[in-house]
Amino acid sequence: MAQVQLGYFTLDTADIGKAKAFYGSLFGWSFDEAASGPTYAHVKDSSPAFGFVKAERPASETNLYFRVEDLNAVCARVRELGGKAALPAESPTGLTVVVCDDQGVSFSLWQAAAGY
């Protein structure tokens, strides 16, 4: 198995537009409109990649996405080890899924689309 590294993370926000305005002004960030939508704003040219996700009640922590080559295989391994995996979601940036370990700690996996 290849070394797995943090590949993506998000920050929850109640208002995507306000988050874009605040952080864009604060840090000079711009946003990739092609990879964004009404419930997500992707920060352009970020490394590791990250963005903002619309949430009813924003969390005080980030959502970590570990970049993997084969999301389905890693989800199967999570289950084998006693964890749980939700159904994957597809977006222009690839496949993502929320999983939790055998103690209930949640994190996410990301299988990048071509070009990401």
**Residue 110 has what pLDDT?**
93
Query: Which residue ranges make up each domain of the chain?
Result: 5-112
**Residue 58 has what pLDDT?**
67
**Residue 72 has what pLDDT?**
96
Residues of the chain with pLDDT under 50: none
Instruction: Could you list the beta-strand ranges (E) of the chain.
Output: 5-13, 31-37, 40-43, 49-54, 63-67, 84-85, 89-91, 94-100, 106-112
The amino acid at 1 = M
- The pTM of this model reads 0.66
Which pair of structure tokens corresponds to residue 36?
């964004």
The conformation of residue 73, written as its DSSP 8-state character, comes to H
CATH architecture classification, 5-112: Roll (3.10)
Rounded Cα distance between 42 and 53, Å, is 9
Whether a cis peptide bond, with omega within 30° of 0, leads into 38 is no
